[in-house]
C-alpha cells in the first residue's frame, strides 16, 4: 500500500509524496502563476505550501485536514516548501476510516498506472524492433541501387577518379568551415523561466527564449493531454528538475557538432559546478542516451548512470 510521509521526514530526493496534514493558514499569492499559499501542520511539524494555478485542486479550507496525493517539493528563498502542481490532488479527511479508504484507492490507482506503463513499454519495444528490421532492409536495397548507379556512371565515363576526389575535397572544406562556425557557441548563460519536463527547460538567454533539452538523457515523456496514461518516472523527473532548476541562473555548454539553432538546443546544464544532467541520472530518473557525435562528458554521465544502477534507484529499482 502507498505510504504517508510525515512533514519532518520530507526529502527532496523522494518525490512525489503523500502527506496527511491540516491547513493552519491561507493567503493570496503575489505571483501570477500561483493560486494560493499557506502552511500545513501535522504531528511532526509545520511547512509552507504553494498551490499553482495549473493544479486541479481549486479549493482549500483553513482548518480542514486533507490527504494530499502526488505532492512535490521545492525551495523559495532557501526555505523548503510543498508544491501542489498539475498532477497533485487533495482528499478531505475527518476520520481514520476516511484515510484508510482513500489510501486503498490511491494504491489501486498507482498499481493500475504501473501495469499500463509496463504494457506500453512492451508494445513500444515490439514496434522498435520491427522498425529496425524494416530500416535495415531499406538500407540494403538503397546500397545496392547506389552501387548500381555508380557502376553505370563509371562505365559510361560520366564519373571519374578526379571528379570523385574533387567532390570529397570540397565536402571536407565545407565540414571544416561548419565546425568553426559551431565552435563559436560553446557556452552561454541564462535564467530558467520555466521547467517544461524532466529534461527540458525554457531559458532566457539575452533577449531570446530558448527551449533547452538536457544532452545525453532519455526520459519518459509527459502525457500530451491530462487524463491519459502517465509514466511515474516522468512525473518524478519533472518534480526533481523543478527542484534543481526553477528560477536558477544556469550555464549551458554545447558540443561543437550540435550548436543551438532557432531557439532550440541540446546542452549540458550547470548550476554553479553542478551538472543537472548527471543529477537526474544519479537519481535513476533518466537513461544515458547515445548521441550522434563524441560527447565531452561521456565518462561523467556514464558513471552517474552506473551509480543509480548499483543502488537500484528509480528506473533501475526492479
CA–centroid distance for 195 within its chain: 9
Let me know if residue 242 belongs to a domain: yes
- Residue 110 is predicted with a pLDDT of 76
Examine the domain organization and report whether 89 and 127 are in the same domain.
no
Strand intervals (E) in 15-63:
17-28, 34-42, 45-52
d(CA 202, CA 214): 11
Count other C-beta atoms under 10 Å from residue 177's C-beta: 10
Residues 191 and 284 in one domain: yes
Is there a contact between 260 and 284 (Cβ–Cβ < 8 Å)?
A: no
Tell me which of 128-132, 147-151, 256-260, 272-276 is least confident: 128-132
Place of cell 532557501: 78
What domain range is 28 assigned to?
A: 7-94
| Range with the poorest average pLDDT among 149-153, 159-163, 247-251, 314-318 | 159-163
Same domain, 66 and 167: no
Residue 104 lies in a domain: no
Q: Is residue 138 part of a domain?
A: yes
How far is it, in rounded angstroms, from Cα 291 to Cα 205? 24
Q: Are residues 235 and 134 in the same domain?
A: no
Q: pLDDT tens for residues 138-171?
A: 888 888 888 777 766 665 655 556 666 666 677 7
The number of distinct structural domains making up the chain is 3
Nearest by Cα to 268 from 184, 208, 281:
281
- Co-location of 190 and 77 in the same domain: no
> Residue 31 domain-assigned?
yes
Q: Are residues 159 and 221 in the same domain?
A: no
- Shared domain for 226 and 121, answered yes or no, is no
Given a contact cutoff of 8 angstroms between Cβ atoms, the answer to whether 202 and 193 are in contact is: yes
Closest CA to 286 of 173, 200, 164: 200
**Is 72 a member of any domain?**
yes
Neighbouring C-beta atoms of residue 91, cutoff 10 Å: 18
Model pLDDT for residues 282-303, shown as the tens digit of each residue: 999 999 987 766 788 999 999 9
**Overall pTM > 0.75:** no
Judgement on whether residues 164 and 189 belong to the same structural domain of the protein? no
Would you say residue 102 lies in a domain? no
Amino acid at each position: 500500500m502507498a505510504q504517508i510521509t510525515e512533514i519532518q521526514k520530507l526529502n527532496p530526493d523522494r518525490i512525489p509524496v503523500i502527506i496527511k496534514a491540516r491547513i493552519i493558514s491561507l493567503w493570496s499569492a503575489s505571483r501570477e502563476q500561483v493560486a494560493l499559499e499557506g502552511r500545513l501542520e501535522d504531528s511532526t511539524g509545520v511547512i509552507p505550501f504553494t498551490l499553482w494555478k495549473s493544479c486541479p485542486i481549486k479549493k482549500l479550507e483553513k482548518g480542514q485536514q486533507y490527504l494530499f496525493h502526488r505532492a512535490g517539493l521545492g525551495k523559495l528563498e532557501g526555505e523548503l516548501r510543498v508544491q501542489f502542481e498539475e498532477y497533485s490532488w487533495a482528499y478531505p479527511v475527518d476520520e481514520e476510516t476516511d484515510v484508510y479508504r482513500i489510501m486503498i484507492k490511491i494504491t489501486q490507482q498507482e498499481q493500475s498506472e504501473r501495469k499500463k506503463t509496463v504494457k506500453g513499454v512492451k508494445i513500444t519495444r515490439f514496434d522498435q524492433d520491427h522498425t529496425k528490421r524494416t530500416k535495415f532492409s531499406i538500407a540494403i536495397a538503397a546500397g545496392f541501387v547506389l552501387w548500381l548507379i555508380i557502376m553505370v556512371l563509371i562505365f559510361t565515363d560520366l564519373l571519374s577518379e578526379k571528379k570523385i576526389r574533387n567532390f570529397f575535397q570540397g565536402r571536407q572544406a565545407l565540414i571544416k568551415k561548419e565546425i568553426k562556425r559551431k565552435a563559436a557557441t560553446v557556452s552561454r548563460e541564462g535564467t530558467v523561466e520555466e521547467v517544461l519536463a524532466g529534461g527540458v527547460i525554457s531559458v532566457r538567454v539575452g533577449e531570446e527564449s530558448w527551449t533547452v533539452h538536457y544532452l545525453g538523457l532519455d526520459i519518459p515523456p509527459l502525457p500530451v493531454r491530462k487524463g491519459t496514461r502517465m509514466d511515474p518516472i516522468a512525473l518524478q523527473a519533472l518534480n526533481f528538475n523543478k527542484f534543481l532548476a526553477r528560477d536558477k541562473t544556469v550555464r549551458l555548454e554545447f558540443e561543437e557538432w550540435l550548436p543551438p539553432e532557432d531557439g532550440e538546443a541540446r546542452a549540458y546544464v550547470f548550476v554553479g559546478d553542478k551538472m543537472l544532467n548527471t543529477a537526474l541520472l544519479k537519481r535513476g530518473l533518466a537513461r544515458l542516451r547515445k548521441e550522434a557525435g563524441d560527447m565531452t562528458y561521456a565518462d561523467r554521465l556514464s558513471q552517474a548512470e552506473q551509480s543509480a544502477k548499483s543502488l537500484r534507484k528509480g528506473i533501475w529499482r526492479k
